[in-house]
Structure 1
Amino acid sequence: MSVPGRRSSTFTRLLRHGFTDPSAAERLLDLPVLSAVRGDPVLLDALGATADPDTALRGLVRLAEAQDDDGRQLLGTVLSAKPLRDRLLGVLGASEALGDHLARHPRDWEALVTYESADLHPGVADFERGLAGATDPVSLRVAYRRCLLAIAARDVCATTDVAETAAELADLATATLRRALALASADAPEDAALCRLAVIAMGKCGGNELNYVSDVDVIFVGEPADGADEGKALQAATRLASHLMRICSEPTVEGTIWPVDANLRPEGRNGPLVRTLSSHLAYYQRWAKTWEFQALLKARPVAGDERLGAAYVEAVSPLVWQAAERENFVADVQKMRRRVVDNIPVAHVDRELKLGPGGLRDVEFAVQLLQLVHGRSDATLHSGTTLDALKALAAGGYVGRADAAQLDEAYRFLRAMEHRIQLFRLRRTHLVPEAEEDLRRLGRSMGLRTDPVAGLNREWRRHAAVVRRLHEKLFYRPLLDAVAQLTPGETRLSAKAAGQRLEALGYADPAAALRHLEALSSGVTRKAAIQRTLLPVLLGWFADSADPDAGLLGFRKVSDALGKTPWYLRLLRDEGAAAENLARVLSAGRLAPDLLLRAPEAVAILGAPEGLRPRGRDHLEPEILAAVGRADDAELAVAVARGVRRRELFRTAAADIIGSYGTEDSPAEADPGALVDRVGQAVTDLNAATIAGALRAAVRERWGDTLPTRFAVIGMGRFGGHELGYGSDADVLFVHEPREGVDEQEATRAANAVVAEMRRLLQLPTADPPLLIDADLRPEGKSGPLVRTLKSYAAYYRRWSLGWESQALLRAEPMAGDPDLGRRFIELADPLRYPEQGLDEAAVREIRRLKARMETERLPRGADPALHTKLGRGGLSDVEWTVQLLQMRHGHEVPGLRTTRTRQALTAARDAGLIAEQDARTLDEAWVLATRVRNGVMLVRGRAGDTFPSDTRELAAVGRYLGYGPGHVGEMVEDYRRTTRRARAVVEELFYGG
């Protein structure tokens, strides 16, 4: 017995042998059942070699106590026979669940005694013999666990490696399905006589790489027996298949074996459980999706009618290897992978061993995609087993040998972790545990005995990082080998195969893409070497966009322009965010690349942490005015100002694109409204600063520092509302006031001359995007004078102003010129736009009449009213007129409504109780979405538009900007219709009065 209050020598030895609870272990060793072996050092050494000595000892005690002879034979055999000792204690230390099985079935330990060559690598026939005595579901489960016990023993003792263990588990599953079918047939011999039934294994079972605990995916194929009616035969086959599934899946006193999952069949769970071969083929030829052919890669007949199973695989195999020729093939595969990742609970992402980034599924998807692309012309790649397929890809030159070796090592390590996690309680899980004791046992089971927890985390993260890096690289590096002659003596992809891969990855013109790759990466220069490092990852980012060809072409153009600039490639190589940001910007559409290609040095913006933060007017205006002051003439001055505008438009567009798509380091912007506000404010500030520069240049050219009249530019419309898009004109009013002693006519001539010169300078033909000034919102519209004095505005508005002109003034805000004059103009406008008595019913009816007339007259012919972002139902005009009606009615008594910004006014109306919270949210969502669609169209097409593009690729690019992945364009359009339909209902109620 141990001595209380003092650590015994046994206690110390137990600590040294890896026990975490030596006191409990001492108590167990003192039990009578272990009296014969208590002091034997061999036992402690053997227990200390297990993954969890405490669990192994508890399991041994339970097993010994369950023996008929007090455990004497068991313990004597364990201590005298090293192979058995290592196998039994190894299993008990690695699997609590198998320890429970042995305690319930105390003679099953004898299954571990045999240690012959046939026992080392059993096949399906050996497992069938092990299950032959099972006559019902309960005895089948017991026999299955007995076989599983032997597989686990070989695994934990490293007699088999992880791939061999997975193959043995698949063979055991095959034998179990055969036995279950035999039991089902014996229970219903009349059904068995009517039909031929084949069981096709899919997934990991089909690929001979099964887990300890996993669904076994199957497809059932049935045909009538000779002379049988097809309908009755299929009904009989369905009953047999259902009975087989119940035998394996249903709980009994011995638990379950595993669920048999038939959801990979045509039409999934909605389709018939059993189909004929011809019915399967008809479905695959007409209706099947890409992922279904990817799944068929692993199809393997395992049970039932052998000839029918072989005929099925022979018939579907050609369809599998034609899948890469399907439209949207790669997009479908990538979409499936993204859907898997998106469905991982946020709390589990960092612990997800199978589905998370850098996990097992990344390896499997990468290998399968390469198989499907290149297996069309290379039958050596037709393997359903991941590691065998990876080996074939390396042998064929589709994957570099070093990359394949690293991926093989990482996959084996991750699969071994998955096996050991599942083995402990025989539960289906792919999550790395969080508890210290579980991590310790897992680390020790992986052979990490010195600091197993830290060692396990280090190795796991290292292998996951390898998988992530190679998952990106696998598709692209061989492309470069094909065009650049990189590594002498290494087997490389042919140019034809490289083109096939590019085409499969979404490049519409693979020949042109190969030419770009050759121009960028061939040769022995330092520049080419850096490009060869960058391009594998860049190509992946391009392929992930709606227009990979445009991204690669843009990158070549930028590289040609900056290739000799020493900082350019160094920036992309050393600043990871810069390269990804550039790839996203270049492949997002025309506007941002066009802006960048006019000034390629702006690529530096993409690398600085603060580079994508739009600069405010307080920074831009001083910069532009200083540049104007240094210029020799007005045209040069405005050229400099437009150059600043081009650079800042690029900054804003790049920030918008990257904020919408997100990157690995910076997730996509969660609030679309924040993106819209940021763009609107940035473009407004930029245009205001540019107009201020043009005004200074126009005045300075003729009058020096002082114009004979005070002059101000008032922003109107979306300009005054700080809601400009990339292609918006600047709506303005021009107001002046003669200086003291200056004749009013002279002042008016000077003001008109300044306006004419400003407009001329801003519209000079250059490569920079123009800034159009639109003054049509002035009194009397196009018929009225372009410039008025403040007194003239006051007189006009007092006597002649129409309702629409007062409404237009809701967006009036000074943007350039004399600040005091601008302030006084706003003081003049306030009583008009926020009338003290609100609006009478006649004024409200007139506003409604004008709005209805605009809807019918201004909507372009042929435009879909449900999809026109400006004038369509629930679009910008609907929301803005509704908000503006509230402002004119209640702005005098609700200060929050006195703003030029639509969203701020809407929030103020909600806070004042003028609109219900849900209605305000509905209008806001519609306004933000319509604005984002307009911005997206401009970014993608490089020109303004109020409707979704008709071109498929452009429409997909707008979808990516709005956050819709490949294949979700229809969903995007339907979401727009639904959002604006709800908004229109609110507008009908609030604006038109129900």
Structure 2
Amino acid sequence: MASMSFPIEISPAVAPVVNRYWQAFCTNCEQLAPQFSSATLSAPLNHSFLRQLANTWAGSDFAAEQCIHHPELVFQWLENPEPLLHFEPERHHVQLSEHIQSIHSETELMRVLRVYRNREMVRIIWRDLNRIATLQQTTADLSAMADACVDQALLWLYQDCCKGLGTPMGCDPGQEPEPQQMVILGMGKHGAHELNLSSDIDLIFTYPHKGKTVGGRRSFDNQEFFTRLGQRLIKVIDSNTADGFVFRVDMRLRPYGSSGALAMSFSAMEQYYQDQGRDWERYAMIKARPVAGDVSAGEQLLQTLKPFTFRRYIDFGAITALRDMKKLIQREVKRKGMETNIKLGHGGIREIEFIAQSFQLIHGGRDRSLQCQALLDVLNVLKEAGHLPEQATDELREAYIYLRNLEHAIQALKDQQTQNLPDFEEPRNRVAYSMGHPDWQTLQQTLDKHKSCVVYHFDHVIADPDEQDNDQPTPSECWKMFWDKELSEEDEIKLLAEKGFTDVNTSHNRLRALRDGKAITRVRRQSRERLDAFIPVLMEQVITTEAPDVCLNRLIPLVESVLRRTAYLVLLMENPRALDHLCRLCTASPWIAEQIDRHPALLDEFLNVGTLYSPPKRAELADDLRQQLAHIPEDDLESQMEVLRHFKMAHVLRVAAAQTAGTLPLMKESDYLTWIAEVVLEQVVDIAWRNLIERHGRPVAPEGKPCNPGFIVIGYGKLGGIELGPGSDLDLVFVHDGAINQETDGDRPLDSGTFFTRLGQRIIHILTTHTASGSLYEADMRLRPSGSSGLLVSSMAAFEKYQMNDAWTWEHQALIRARAVAGDKELAARFETLRKQTLCQARDRTTLQNDVAAMRLKMRDHLGSKKNDDDGNPLFHLKHDKGGIVDIEFLMQYAVLAYASNHPGITRYTDNIRISESLEQSNIISHEQGKQLREAYKFLRKASHSRAFLNERSFVSPALVEPFRSQVSNLWQDWME
């Protein structure tokens, strides 16, 4: 039987190898046991199984040799192929626990682990080479097996160590001592569930508290106990015996590397990373995961260390560290002649990892969705968040999967840790066959295509600009000489004049104050080096703007504000387009310059110029904010408030940028600003609601059912009218529909009124509290029933009674521009019905006219312009003066209240443009009147928005607003006087 060929036809490229192994397998079957018959494998019904067996042996000497020496594996899987077909990584712990619980010696432990590992490796290789498993399933299976081997070995060894050395004890100050468990962190591919077929496992040993052992022959420090335990664990896992090894263990990623203690307490770990953690260790900690021991305590430790890994601000300085690491690897590759290494070579796996992890280090502190570990998950986030184009992430994903599968095909051959392409014909043919290629040449062509894509994207993300053929001009040497004080004062002034500065003395003084000021002498050396590199780049960009003096004087405060966070300067040097747009927008808008000076994190918005000038739809805004908040624990109110504030600032900055660039019409501008407020309010209500019901339970509705939530926020004024401008307050009214005199259903119940009052207070707190990022909005609650003396939150019944019986005319005017902007949809519909009923009441027009005119006169006297220009000429207030915005609003409101009883359709809209259109359609005003009102309203509001973005008040020369001012005044005269 030993001379038999393999029973089915196979590719000539791998037939010699498979036939050789088949003959050895048949011979061994005859020698080991008569029950193992190769004829069983040759039965016609087993064609599919034989094909898989051939593919496995063609691709893996290790798997073939294990099958030859342990033919029971083959026959077991032939009779029951279930383990080959299904992906169940969680079973590793269960199976190993059953194997280990009855052993009595370390030698036995080592043998059981190795036998288990070898059998499972054959199964995993079989699934991988036959593409029964995806790449993610293969790496997750390997990682889960590593977790189980390390954890089960640790459990046995810990118990054995406690018998001889005693049990390690420790505690927090003031607490009772309790037994201490080791925590093992898996790093790199192990931590990210990405182990390959021949990976090392990178581990770090740690334990929660210092202390001593009790119960042994003598007492040991916890560190000595866990060091001995760790040494035994490494021996059990790493040693090469007659049965092979389990995993090669690498401990060099621990604090202080090979010279550091093998095991450290949590406090020592925290101190090390706080004081001495290096950039490459941040890169390594991205993938850290507790894999064995006290996993819960390990999670707490990683939460403590997270600020070391992920900075709270955008951190472009991380790219420099990644570049340095890449250069070291490239030098090592060239020195060792490893240019064909698919992991470390140009266009290899490491470059894809660097691309993904550069975004994680830069943005992960603020975008928690990037704090995931698996690379393919990171690529998904980069695509969804718009950090990389969809084509780029798709190409990187395809390349990564291909390279990792190729890595597995190479490693499966000999169960060796290598990423080098084979040099000889037979292994090349086998690898090509495993990868589904007809020959090596085709594989090489496909590989080159993927590597070229990786190189392209790597060069656009992380490659050093100094190493690229770059069309960008280098900073002029003269600016470097200026900054380095190599020019005389006369030459410095001459240079500024030659480069287009007009207010030369002021600009010169500002630059010198920055260069020679005390603030610079106090910054770290790295920060000073970054600043020295940035200023010449900045000056080259400043002189391309329309007003270099204005641009420079608006940007210097930003530079001064980030002297201790100079990663922002690196961001701008890394992104010339971002710096270009920053300079141009700050030149045009002092408001933009001021916002970025206060909140440098907004510079992140300049990285994607496409989105900077293109506002998203409302649904996209809501989804974006929802995703940002989804990654924050529900009880972390501080982080939630920071996310809300940054979200609002970032999108208002986009409005300002689009407005400055002239790409956003007035109505779209107001829509965008209103949508921002609406989606923020929706999330604020949701946060406040969850917080209160967690403490006090849900209130009940009048019919006895739980409220969900039975609460709405009504927006009045500009918010209700979908006409928010930059810096607008929010006029809000809160209404609930909870049952009166009923308590919530929680452990600490509150009556309904108190619950909804606290809900309103919590909403105002979230909106108005000043954090490091400022406040969200100023909330004005004076339009609620009975004004400042009324309840903060009204019941729907009380609100209805007040509107129908007690409200003043001006309150019904305000109701015209009111709509529910957040909260319960059903209650919002009831409010809209009430609003329409209220507005459609019949009114005496003379009385109404007198009331509206009296209120307008009172406002004008109180808020109108009393200012003159420098020549003593009176100025016009765009909003409050005669013929201004408020006159138009009052005209619209008078018309709705006067005619709604006969024309209910005019109550539908809350914004003045569509109100005027509905009045025109109902023949209440003429087409000419409607057109004049709309043109005047849009002109005046546009002027008001522009003044706000220029940080200027709403006063202009009367001549600038003619003829609109006169047209509005004439209409007022006709209607109201």
TM-score by length of 1: 0.44
